[in-house]
Every structure is written in structure tokens, then in C-alpha cells.
Amino acid sequence: MNAPPDAPVSSRRALLLGGIGVLAAATAGVLTARYLVRRRERAAVTRVALVYPVPRPLPAFSLIAEDGSSFGATELKGHYTFVLFGYTNCPDVCPTTLLELKRARALLADLPAADLPAVALVTVDPRRDTPERLGAYAKHFDPAFRGLSGTEAAVDALAQAIGVAIERGPEHDGSYTVDHTAALFLIDDSADVAAVFPTPHEAQAIASDYRTIRAARERRPG
């Protein structure tokens, strides 16, 4: 999370607490999740991911993909997707996370193509990140990555629903920064939030936990 240099301390603290609150909410269920995993699925405990005992459905939403097409919950169904929030002017966290996701997918290359996780970058800066610009940025890291933009209201609604805090800084000479929760969200093939991956992100841990979560799902009765 990158706070603007001139942002008030209280503002940065509020955003930090908001991000902590998001992860605390997930953590509140992680002990239950791990208990249920052991009891009902007997799967290995994840290394870093906080797994929801019951996946959280996403609300209806409408964003715009890099090719100009509409992108909603329907486009997330049928496969697993890592969703992250960021922006093209992000100085460090966003590009680092995208690189780790690229490496994680490489570590999962032995899986069938249909089982590889997709990656979708949702901009927190739709004023500057047009669908085309965001798509080019995401595909710079991996041609398979998607870039999702839309109206500020649509982005903020999805962010709030999934548990992402966003704070857009004041504009100076046409430039501004955006603070945002840097967690990764794993969306399952029913378009439900299955797990949260808090920072820091590391490819080996992401890939390992992805395998664990998928294996646990496949062993579920019924």
C-alpha cells in the first residue's frame, strides 16, 4: 500500500486500519476454515491463504474488459481467477504482485490448461486507466492477464463488496496516487470468493496454496 507523501498521517492510518480490518474479517474465519478443512476434507493447511469455510458470493457487477466488452460475474464462472486491485501508475506493489502471479502460473504449468488460474487486474484509478491502457499494462506481464476498468462508482462498489479499501489522493499538477488494499482474492468457478491472500505475495506460496485449495474442493463429497 503506497501512501502519497503529503497525505495526512490520520488519513494513511485510516486506510491502513481499513486494510487490516478487511484481513481481520477474513482471519476471523480462518481458524474455523482450517478446522473444517481438517475435519471434513482432511486437506493440508494453506501456507498463507485465508480460506473461507463457505465461499462468499460476489454481487452483480459490470466492468469493462480491455477489448471493450462487458465483464461481470458470469465471466468469472467455470474457472478459478485471482483478482487484484491496482493501477497502471502504481510505483511498486502492483507490478511486483503481477510478476509474482506470472511466476505462480509458471509453477502451475503442469496442470491442465483449464485448471490454470486466470488473473484479472481491476483498476482503482478508472479516471486514467482506460480499458485499453489497463489491458496493455496487464498483458505486459502475461498475455493471458485481463484488465478491468469501468466507472468509478462501479469499481468502488465491487471493491467494497469484496473487501478492498481505496483512497484517492489529492491531485497536484495532474498527478495523484491511490492507496488500496493489496490483498489477492481467489474467485472459484462459481464466481464466489474462496480465499484471501494477504501481503507479502510470493509465487511459491501462491502456487502451493492454490493447489491445496483446488485439491480440497475436488475431495468434497457430492
Tens of pLDDT, residues 41-75 = 444 489 999 999 999 999 999 999 999 999 999 99
Instruction: Tell me the C-alpha distance between 78 and 99, whole Å.
Output: 25
Residue with cell 485471482: 82
Domain residue spans in the chain?
Answer: 9-218
Q: At 157, phi and psi to the nearest 5?
A: -65, -45
User: In the chain, which ranges are continuous DSSP H helix?
Assistant: 9-36, 93-107, 131-141, 152-162, 203-218
C-beta of residue 96 within 8 angstroms of C-beta of residue 202: no
C-beta of residue 178 within 8 angstroms of C-beta of residue 187: no
Provide CATH code, domain 9-218.
Answer: 3.40.30.10
Q: At 71, phi and psi to the nearest 5?
A: -135, 120
C-beta of residue 34 within 8 angstroms of C-beta of residue 44: no
Instruction: Tell me the C-alpha distance between 163 and 178, whole Å.
Output: 16
> Residue 178 pairs with which residues in a beta bridge?
168
Q: Is 82 helix (H, G, I), strand (E, B) or coil?
A: strand
pLDDT in tens, the chain (222 residues): 333 333 333 334 334 434 444 554 454 444 444 444 444 444 448 999 999 999 999 999 999 999 999 999 999 999 999 999 999 999 999 999 999 999 999 999 999 999 999 999 999 999 999 999 999 999 999 999 999 999 999 999 999 999 999 999 998 887 898 999 999 999 999 999 999 999 999 999 999 999 999 999 877 655
CA atoms within 13 A on the CB side of 29: 18
What single DSSP character describes residue 175? B
What single DSSP character describes residue 87? -
